[in-house]
Copies of this chain bind each other. A is one copy, B any other.
């Protein structure tokens, strides 16, 4: 085996470390969750519907591929994406799957079957309405994810609190709910809940990472209180 062949095998072997890391559905779900912000093992396990040990193993694989970093805080280990490029890569991979695998749309259509009027609005359209101050933007992800970053001016009411806090939703404008991305179900469920309460609501197709990657205005809330108060606007 020549030096050149050995070099190529070694190089592609390195590239394959990335491929192997993203070859399991649960690791992809974990990456999607971490695109929203850092989380602990326990929370990731709960969100992904996995056992703690299994989640820990998947996190280990992603960490060994240098896609994640871990930080210990007392009992808890917080995992975060090692680089924004990891989220960009995940989104690229998702786009490729959307474009190439007809099953992706079929699965989504089957899921939305029976849920009337779930046609989403696009990010550009939402941005226009936001600028005209004609919508209420509602972030229905868990509060931690809102804190890590959200659409500028968005109100935060996590889905699991929406029924209880429905009175907090302004009634003057149409509500646009958003969550983690095109395949997240939180916004779908939020729209159903809002409509049941008599509010005019639709959902945003994109999630927060897509909005941010498109260079649209975002903000980060550092306070533990969820509010509309603007602390720092990011580009």
Contact = CB atoms under 8 A, between A and B. Distances in A.
Interface of A: 1, 3-5, 7-29, 32, 49, 65-67, 82-83, 85-86, 88-89, 92-97, 99-101, 103-104, 107-108, 111, 183, 185, 189
Nearest to A86: B96
Contact of A29 (B12, B82, B107, B183): B12
Most B CB contacts (10 A, CB to CB) among A1, A25, A26, A111 go to A25
A100 B65 CA distance: 8
Contact of A67 (B1, B17, B92, B100): B100
Contacts of A17: 97, 101
Given A85-B96, A96-B86, A100-B66, A16 B11 contact: no
A1 B83 CA distance: 33
Contacts of A82: 100
Given A19-B28, A65-B100, 8 more contacts: A9-B49, A11-B107, A12-B29, A14-B104, A15-B97, A19-B27, A85-B100, A89-B92
A93 B12 contact: no
Given A22-B16, A100-B65, A183-B11, A89 B93 contact: yes
Contacts of A28: 12, 15-16, 19
Nearest to A11: B183
A27 B29 CA distance: 24
Number of copies: 2
A13 B65 CA distance: 20
Contacts of A1: 49
A224 B207 CA distance: 49
A50 to B, nearest CB: 11
Contact of A93 (B11, B18, B108, B185): B18
Nearest to A4: B185
B83 A100 contact: yes
A14 B100 CA distance: 10
A107 B9 CA distance: 10
Contact of A11 (B19, B88, B108, B189): B108
